[in-house]
Amino acid sequence: MISFCYYFLCIIAKTKGIVSCVLILYLKLQCLLALLALSGCASKVTQPDKYSGFLKNYSDLQETTSATGKPVLRWVDPHFNDSNYDSIVYNPITYYPVPKPTTQVGQQVS
């Protein structure tokens, strides 16, 4: 891609000195645009005016950093003691009633 741009700019400017300056400016512009695009994807902590209303009181949430390094809000019970726990119990999700194919509902998924 860069070689094509360089060739194209050489044709337009007809001198390699001007083209190298233009190419450097072009690459700087591309880097700037890439950084702006990535900064739009940066994670931010939810602002109070954007709270959903699911919790009655958001004041106990504390800002911390997740395992991936992104800022998150969390609440930990002040009386939590991890030595009270020695395992995690996982129960798979079970759907009731079990879906059965009929003349109206086929077994295949479209």
Q: Where are the domains of the chain?
A: 2-39
Q: Taking all residues of the chain, what is their mean pLDDT, rounded to a whole number?
A: 76
CB 74 within 8 A of CB 61: yes
Query: Any idea what the Cα angle at residue 41 is, between residues 35 and 37, rounded to 5°?
Result: 30
Reported as a single tens digit per residue, the pLDDT across 54-73 is 888 888 899 999 999 899 99
This model's pTM is above 0.75: no
pLDDT at 5 over 70: no
| DSSP symbol at 25 | H
